[in-house]
Amino acid sequence: MKTRTATFPLRLPVSLKAALETISERDGTSMNQFLVIAAAEKISAMQTEEFFANRKKNADRKAFLRILNRKGGEPPRREDSID
């Protein structure tokens, strides 16, 4: 299935375009592909932040601390313990 695309004219400062050319070439991608990936990463980061902010609104801190501080069944492995 082919992905639908849309064109978008983009104005960049000359210095940013030069850096984009250098970095995308070093990355082995086109400038367009580099920008698509960068935009996707930024959108993903913002959506993730929003997701956890919404989860935090429903959090019960007392229940969290109660669970965190309860006695467990197995002690931590030696390599996991904090000395």
Q: What is the pLDDT of residues 17-37, one digit of tens each?
A: 999 999 999 999 999 999 999
pLDDT in tens, 3-22: 899 999 999 999 999 999 99
Q: How far apart are CA 24 and CA 27, in angstroms?
A: 5
Q: What is the pTM of this model?
A: 0.68
Helix, strand, coil content of the chain in percent (nearest 5): 65, 0, 35
Rounded average pLDDT over 31-58 = 97
